Amino acid sequence: MVDVLLGLQWGDEGKGKIVDYFAPRYDIIARFQGGPNAGHTLYINGQKVVLHQIPSGIFHENKLNLIGSGVVLDAVTLKKEYDKVTAFGIDGKKNLYVSERTQLILPTHRALDKASEISKGNEKIGSTLKGIGPAYMDKTGRNGLRVGDLLDKNFTTQYIKLRMKHQRMLDSFGFNDDISEWEEEFFEAIEFLKSLKIVNGEYFINEKIREGKKILAEGAQGSMLDVDFGTFPFVTSSNTISAGVCTGLGIAPQKIREVIGVTKAYCTRVGSGPFPTELHDETGERLRKIGNEFGATTGRPRRCGWIDLVALDFACMINGVTQVVMTKADVLDAFDELSVCTSYKVDGKEQRTVPYQMNKVDIDPQYKSFEGWKTDITRMKTKDELPQPMKEYISFINKYLGVDVSYISNGPEREQIIKA
């Protein structure tokens, strides 16, 4: 049995914290897509840890963590992260598995990412520059190298061949940054990677399913960043939605039970691209300040705005969301009034659907106002304690989406969560 936990917005919904909270209920936590563009924040004994490649179940003893086939893996980031986790007294090698089909991010992928972004001028994607796009392009272009290739005696030859091809591409961009330092780090890190448990991910996971083990598939990024259904071209390069679990782990759709969608009580986006409910005023600034909305991977300020139910409803539809977890509800504690986007006005006409190309049309978001709860909810433990205006805010969202909020996160710490 597989449950999926994924982001319903433009990423950074708080997936890491929620996976860490749910991990005790599962046997295996598996990442199925994305790469070190992800930054998943956890608090372990009050200490902040940001994970980019390792699944967020790693701090739980006896839980297995799989980096699945659909992931793109930067060995250098993985090695650094492994050292960080080890400093917490975790024996990473015991519980960390890597699928042999997982694609490798090479130093030249990072260089190509940078060169490509520079070439876009003012149409930049706002990429994290971790080499994600070029690594996935090599996968679909049938050029890339995979974790399993590390064990092949011809690995270096294959690497050099691909590097030469990348060099020609970099030359055409006029990009001539020196990447020799990255390469040195890369070759050191792949030696480390070889020392991990490299497995056939699809047999590994399906055998565990047959044994009756419970698996939590951990999404990265968010549904609106999905390469097919997000705000293309301002998206990432993988399928971030529930369908990506099947291709990213090699499991059949009927093995999936719950699809847990995570949303903030408001909305953020980092990088370029459409964001209809973005606030360019003091309220947006206040959300950023109270919510500490700065990227976990790049430190960039996140764009902030009200919750967008049109986009959320779309995300629930394409993912088949069965329950919603609402995070950062505490960030709204001090606001007198809250707004919820209930429709878009496009060319004067109101609609409740996401336009094909959000960036090409003028969207005027229509809002419904709610009274703020003006109460500190951060120490609350049960739903009965929650203020009435907050119950009304959530009840409206439940009705609009046709899916209920099952948990409300009221602070960054592991224990700050309330069953709705």
Site for Mg ion, rule CB under 5 A:
12, 39, 296
Q: Is 20 in the site for ligand GDP (CB under 6 A)?
A: no
* 223 contact choice in ligand IMO, Mg ion, ligand GDP, none (CB below 5 to 8 Å, kind-dependent): none
Query: Which one among 135, 321, 330, 365 touches ligand GDP, defined by CB under 6 A?
Result: 330
Scan for tokens 């492994």, then name that residue. 82
Closer of 148 and 305 to ligand IMO (Cβ): 305
Closer of 99 and 237 to ligand IMO (Cβ): 237
Least CB distance to ligand GDP at residue 415 (A): 11
Rounded Cα distance between 195 and 115, Å, is 33
Tokens of 144: 């890339």
Least CB distance to ligand GDP at residue 316 (A): 17
Q: Is 411 in the site for ligand GDP (CB under 6 A)?
A: yes
Rounded to the nearest 10 degrees, what angle do helices 107-119 and 132-140 cross at? Answer: 110
Which whole-number Å values give the CA distances from 219 to 43, 67, 129, 229, 248, in the listed order?
19, 11, 19, 15, 10
Active-site residue 166, yes or no? no
Among the listed residues 3, 20, 40, 52, the single catalytic one is 40
Closer of 10 and 82 to ligand GDP (Cβ): 10
Nearest CA among 7, 37, 31, 38 for reference residue 248: 31
Least CB distance to Mg ion at residue 327 (A): 11
Per-residue binding string, ligand GDP, 31-50, x by CB under 6 A, is -------xxxx---------
Closer of 292 and 395 to ligand IMO (Cβ): 292
* 201 contact choice in ligand IMO, ligand GDP, Mg ion, none (CB below 5 to 8 Å, kind-dependent): none
Active-site residue 12, yes or no? yes
* 98, 147 contact by CB (below 8 A): yes
Least CB distance to ligand IMO at residue 378 (A): 23
| Residues of this chain that bind ligand GDP (CB under 6 A) | 7, 11-17, 38-41, 296, 327-328, 330-331, 409-412
Residues labelled catalytic = 12, 40
